[in-house]
Chain A
Amino acid sequence: MEKKVKLMQGNEACVEGAIAAGMRFFAGYPITPSTEIAEFSAQKLPRVGGKFIQMEDEIASMAAIIGASLTGLKSMTATSGPGFSLKQENIGYASIAEVPCVIVNVQRGGPSTGLPTSPAQGDVMQARWGTHGDHPIIALTPSSVRETFDLTVKAFNLSERYRVPVVLLLDEVIAHMREKIEIPSKDEIEIINRKKPKVNIEDYKPYETDDSDLVPAMASYGEGYRFHVTGLVHDETGFPSNSPVVAEKLIRRLIDKIEVNKEDIILYEEYNLEDAEIAIVAYGSTARSAKSAIDMARDEGIKVGLFRPITIWPAADKIIEKLSKRVKTIIVVEMNLGQYVYEIERIASKNCSIKSYGRVNGELITPDEILDKIKEV
């Protein structure tokens, strides 16, 4: 693939990124505003020898990508709010069975059918806690079309590296916005593939982890390892167990494999934070308005900067904690009535004051509104 400059939509950049990362299987069910991801995948995948299937529903789509991933193909599905809710049980399955896969959620107004064609950032907590039980997850939030390309690649890399479902949390603005982007050439893109077993077939234990990264090597169906996969709590052999010791060990390892590798997982952007007394925390399209508001405030001499979580889960807790010791106030701006602010409060409320600003009417938060909020502080 050669470097090329194109006018592209966020949803299209997502598919370009996925194919560049090695996606060769997509299963999905049409839902606004994510539909173009399925459409572009249907168009492009067979051209690179990949497979597209439109399943009968969202649940089936999530199931199909897990099946395909177990067979060795890098797999993705895409959806929006209500579809994301439907997928949750099987996202939990991918977590406990440690099956790499990418789930794109182009957020729209909710709850329920909500505002199908309007932007929102209301699925932040669902991305983290949507399925039942304690489980790991990684979620990434791009703020531009180019970043959607890059983070889709990153989503696949993290998913393969840690055998974890990775959520790409877009919002409708980024998904449908068109920007001129430069698509990097093949040799500029880092690709990470899942760790394959090196042991003899008879010695393979699908959930044994020797390495300090806590991630087991993964065989594919059909390669001769003949392993068992289940959504039940299982031991290192992959077979179910009711033992409290086994259960505790497994769930803790699943959480810890993300915890101990946080430095590799967490991405963020800082803008004008060096001397800031006020920090805005914003992500996705809202971060773009926040940047403009910060420029306007700086013109008036207000020391304000932006902390933009790119990896929204797990949270960059150490970095946010340090930031909270330097600033007087953090304002969390998001297109919901206060979701990520809970996480910021958890991390930072002992060090500085925390304010929440949000809206849920299906319209973008403007720079002027954020500026007003800054001035209030």
Chain B
Amino acid sequence: MSSELIKKYFRYNRLPHIWCPGCGHGIILRSVVEAIDELGYSKDEVCVVSGIGCSSRAPGYLDFNTLHTTHGRALAFATGIKMANPNLKVIVITGDGDCTAIGGNHLIHAARRNIDITTIVFNNNIYGMTGGQYSPTTPQGEKGTTAPYGNIDKNFDLCELAKAAGATYVGRSTAYHAKLINKLVKAGMQNKGFSFIETVSVCPTYYGRKNKKGNAVNMMKFLKDNAVNVKAARALNDEQLKGKFLIGELYKSVEPEYTDEYKKIINSFQKER
């Protein structure tokens, strides 16, 4: 299955990828591509946009219309693309730093507009490409090269942020829960509006090493042991949920979509003529 997917959707001559051994990004990317395949979209109608960072190299490996933009700005470029051609299925692949530090403003406003873009955050809790500085999702107290004495910044809950800003589909999965990523991406892409999917990845090279999390296998085991599906969580009490994080479909609603609303304005003038 994997090799068929690679043949069909990857730019084979662009491989091998730049990701470190043990990085979770490859697993996530496979699940994303599987989801696109299962939805049956043609390669020409899919457009994948990224910013800068480890995750943001993903579009280069994929045989779609692809755009690798400036740091933090993927959603702003993607907004231009979607507005200009609403027929394109626009996916943004971004990292935690890219999407929520330098790009935080674009995230909340894209969500507020409910523009039909599916944003997939590859969250490895660190700035990987620049060598391990703390990001907006690095847990308090943990270390990065710019937090040598422990990070005192409070970390974002990305899904709560997206939901509060107006995203109409919000979900979270992890590199360990690959099948769930597939399910969330499919649902997100079918949602007519802004969809936000956080995928918790692992960075053994920087985050793991710096914070003594063990090797890649241990880090994946951490995801397995600490992620609780939102449905299962309903049966658990606060004590049982302490230190855990929720995965699954976290929020869903139906709201007017941005390009549809603008189309109505254009159409009102066509009737006039």
Contacts and interface: CB of A to CB of B under 8 A. Distances in A.
A56 B109 contact: yes
Interface in A30-48: 46-47
B247 interface: no
Interface stretch (A107-115, A223-231, A248-256, A315-323): A223-231
A18 to B, nearest CB: 15
Interface stretch (A66-74, A179-187, A361-369): A66-74
15 contacts: A25-B83, A27-B80, A46-B269, A60-B105, A60-B109, A61-B76, A71-B85, A71-B88, A75-B80, A75-B84, A90-B70, A221-B81, A228-B60, A229-B67, A240-B68
Identify the 4 closest CB pairs spanning chains A and B, nearest first.
A67-B80, A64-B80, A63-B76, A60-B76
Contacts of B64: 226
B66 A228 contact: yes
A89 B269 CA distance: 36
B78 interface: yes
A24 to B, nearest CB: 8
B76 A226 contact: no
Contacts of A221: 47, 65, 67, 81, 85, 88
Nearest to B269: A47
B18 to A, nearest CB: 10
Interface in A197-231: 221-224, 226-231
Contacts of A67: 49, 67, 76-82, 84
Contacts of A229: 66-68
A57 interface: yes
A55 B79 CA distance: 9
Interface of A: 24-25, 27, 46-47, 49, 51, 53, 55-57, 59-61, 63-73, 75, 89-90, 93, 221-224, 226-232, 239-240
Given A56-B105, A222-B88, A66 B77 contact: yes
Nearest to A227: B65
Given A229-B67, A229-B68, A68 B76 contact: no
Contacts of B67: 67, 70, 221, 228-230
Interface string B69-111: 1100100111111111101100000000000000001101100
Contact of B68 (A53, A56, A222, A231): A231
B60 A230 contact: yes
Contacts of B78: 67
B59 A60 contact: no
Contacts, number: 134
A49 B85 CA distance: 12
Contacts of A56: 76, 105-106, 108-109
Contacts of A230: 60, 67-68
A299 B65 CA distance: 64
Contacts of B108: 56
Contact of A226 (B65, B77, B269): B65
Contact of A59 (B49, B73, B79, B269): B73
A75 B79 CA distance: 13
Contact of A89 (B47, B70, B79, B82): B70
Contacts of B270: 49
A229 B47 CA distance: 11
B80 A222 contact: no
A55 B82 CA distance: 14
A63 B84 contact: no
A231 B65 contact: no
Contact of A64 (B65, B76, B265): B76
A86 to B, nearest CB: 11
Contacts of B17: none
B265 A46 contact: yes
B79 A222 contact: no
